[in-house]
Amino acid sequence: MRSLLGPVATQLFLGDKSEDQIAQLSKLAPLERLGQPEDIARVVSFLAGPDGGWVNAQVIRANGGFA
């Protein structure tokens, strides 16, 4: 299964990476930063809330443009 999320700065993600690896991964996405848990939470909130009621059967990539 392919992930639809880019690198997100969570304890699990950051735990086994050096500062150099994190810096390198941060620059891969067009936004040039790691995602934050709040970035993902906003997408989930939208989809689960009333504004997302008309959205179905879509692929939403919450990844900052990370390919």
> What DSSP letter does each residue of 11-42 carry, written as one string?
HHHHTT--HHHHHHHHTTSTT-S-B-HHHHHH
Q: Is 64 a domain residue?
A: no
Q: Domain range spanning residue 30?
A: 11-52
The count of structural domains within the chain is 1
pLDDT of residue 28: 87
Q: Is 31 a domain residue?
A: yes
Total Cβ atoms within 10 A of residue 63: 20
Length of the chain: 67
Q: Is 61 a domain residue?
A: no
pLDDT of residue 3: 56
Q: Is 58 a domain residue?
A: no
Question: Residue-wise pLDDT tens for the chain (67 aa)?
Answer: 355 678 899 999 999 999 999 999 999 889 999 999 999 999 999 999 999 999 999 989 888 887 6
Q: Is 35 a domain residue?
A: yes
Q: Is 1 a domain residue?
A: no
